[in-house]
Structure 1
Amino acid sequence: MAGIFQLVTDHARLGPPQSAEALDALVALVAAAGEAGIDLVQVREPSLSDEALFRLVERLVARTPPNCRILVNERFDIALAAGASGVHLRASSLAASRVRRVLPPGFLIGRSVHTTTEIRAACRDAAVDYLLFGMVFPSASKASGHPAVGIAALGAAVRASNVPVLAIGGITVERIPQVAEVGAAGVAAIGWLTDAARRGTLPSELSAARQSFRTGATDLR
């Protein structure tokens, strides 16, 4: 595999929030993204109830190929119950080692980080499979409350980590070479990947983007 590509979901981009229309559209979009070669899907839907989130994750797991792994933001209980492949933790969440105790072997754990201090803490915890670092570039898709830190900070994050680092924030296909050049293992995106999937151009854009990454250097376990 050359590069790790993670789609972060936002059903409200596809229709009225919490509507059947938007959720159905999201399931179809994620299914298409999985067929196009997306490696990870982070289900980040904080506005949904527990029941609605569970049902959504079940549908996504059923509609995606084995090469596309579904992770649930923060809710490892729902991820487990719905048959997902992993969980993505916030920077302020429980230590990954504590979460790992209740998870089956092979269950992926990702974590958001914003500083080298958070990166070192996550690596000392020795239980995460990858880190998501940003915001790297300014983004209209994800209001995180964190300023864009730039490509040099991403390079420093990569050097501080002993697990794969994915870049998030303002990711476009044109910026992929910069991200790969500083050693990032891949990228996560809402806007670019969602829009490309809706246009039907995701397979070709992913294929082009993967050319920037060295084959085999960015695999997750």
Structure 2
Amino acid sequence: MARRHRSPGNRGSCLADGLGLTHPDRVVPFVKDPTVTDDDACRLYLITPPRLDDLRAFAERLARTLDAGDVPCVQLRLKEADDTAIRRAVEALRPVCHAREVALILNDRPDLAKDTGCDGVHVGQKDMPYAKARKVVGDNAIVGVTCHDSRHLGMEAGEAGADYVAFGAFYPTATKEAPTQADTDLLRWWSEMMVVPSVAIGGITPENARPLIEAGADFLAVCSGVWEHPEGPEAAVRAFDALFREVSPLDLPDEK
């Protein structure tokens, strides 16, 4: 079964360079290439815990977690932190990510993402609009957009140039209050209609992720499902890796 899909970018990728989505010091895992037909694997989009009280300890923990399997992207999400704390967190985590060719994306703050050398930014519907965020971070950075459970918002973001769209919440989550409940029909429709990568988010664990992968999600955004895994985050990453190898999208057409 062929599927037009995104290509998992890496540092120095000729494909990414050709699409204008790379920077010499950046990693772009959300590169989109409609000529790629043999890459159906879902991947893990890791979100940090909402509080990082000990940056040194967490940086070491993050390194071990990234080394446990395929994690192309980490989102730093510190909603309650001030600018100084966010800058310190980026300074501690960016070297860990970049040493492993993992993209570091900052939540909400295009200005700080650019100033601190993050690889991109994720913006919500109540944050800075996509066009303004893109102007701030530049053409070489990743910009992802929250689209809740809305096909319309997803298409708007995709057509505007977003590098990925995030749908959810698919399951109850303790990380944040979810204003919407998404279902797998949305992921299946998106996979059939659009080339822009989709990120599924909200309460995802290795135990409940299968339907999202089968529906065609390109990435699973996971926070508690990794950091609060009963056997530790490394075990969670290995469990997701095994699931991604085992499960493929179902009933997707050969052409979009």
Normalised TM-score (structure 1): 0.81
Query: Shift in Å at residue 145 of structure 1?
Result: 2.7
2:144 aligns to what? 110
Q: 2:92 aligns with which of 52, 59, 84?
A: 59
Q: 1:76 aligns with which of 68, 88, 110?
A: 110
Distance 1:171 1:199 in 2: 14
Establish whether residue 166 from structure 1 lines up as the match of residue 199 from structure 2: yes
Provide the secondary structure at the position in 1 that maps to 2:243. Answer: helix
Structure 2 gap ranges (5+): 1-7, 9-40, 250-256
Residues 208-219 of structure 1 mapped to structure 2, 5 A cutoff: 208-211=242-245, 212-213=247-248
1:119 aligns to what? 154
Provide the secondary structure at the position in 1 that maps to 2:209. Answer: helix
1:198 aligns to what? 232
Residues 1-221 of structure 1 mapped to structure 2, 5 A cutoff: 2-12=41-51, 19=53, 21=54, 23-36=55-68, 37-64=70-97, 65-114=99-148, 115-125=150-160, 127-146=161-180, 148-159=181-192, 161-196=194-229, 198-211=232-245, 212-213=247-248
Q: For the structure 1 residues 117 and 199, does the alpha-carbon distance in structure 2 shift closer, same or farther, using more than 3 Å as the test?
A: closer
Q: For the structure 1 residues 4 and 200, does the alpha-carbon distance in structure 2 shift closer, same or farther, using more than 3 Å as the test?
A: closer
Distance 1:80 1:198 in 2: 32
Query: Shift in Å at residue 26 of structure 1?
Result: 3.0
AA aligned to 2:178 is: S
Q: For the structure 1 residues 3 and 72, does the alpha-carbon distance in structure 2 shift closer, same or farther, using more than 3 Å as the test?
A: same
Give aligned pairs, total.
Answer: 205
Distance 2:114 2:95 in 1: 14
Distance 1:32 1:76 in 2: 28
Distance 2:193 2:186 in 1: 10
Distance 2:199 2:216 in 1: 10
- CA deviation digits over 1:160-215, x for unaligned, max 9? 5441101111211123321121111120011112134835313421320221247x
Normalised TM-score (structure 2): 0.71
Q: For the structure 1 residues 136 and 29, does the alpha-carbon distance in structure 2 shift closer, same or farther, using more than 3 Å as the test?
A: same
Q: For the structure 1 residues 11 and 91, does the alpha-carbon distance in structure 2 shift closer, same or farther, using more than 3 Å as the test?
A: closer
- CA deviation digits over 1:112-168, x for unaligned, max 9? 11111211211221x21111100112223332232x333223323444544110111
Distance 2:111 2:129 in 1: 15
Distance 1:210 1:28 in 2: 25
Distance 2:164 2:189 in 1: 16
Structure 1 gap ranges (5+): 13-17, 215-221
Query: Shift in Å at residue 54 of structure 1?
Result: 0.7
Judging by fraction of residues, say which structure has more helix.
1
2:163–2:196 contact (8 Å) kept in structure 1: yes
2:226–2:236 contact (8 Å) kept in structure 1: yes
Q: For the structure 1 residues 203 and 124, does the alpha-carbon distance in structure 2 shift closer, same or farther, using more than 3 Å as the test?
A: closer
Provide the secondary structure at the position in 1 that maps to 2:122. Answer: strand
AA aligned to 1:26 is: F
CA RMSD of aligned residues (A): 2.3
Q: For the structure 1 residues 102 and 159, does the alpha-carbon distance in structure 2 shift closer, same or farther, using more than 3 Å as the test?
A: same
Q: For the structure 1 residues 11 and 26, does the alpha-carbon distance in structure 2 shift closer, same or farther, using more than 3 Å as the test?
A: farther
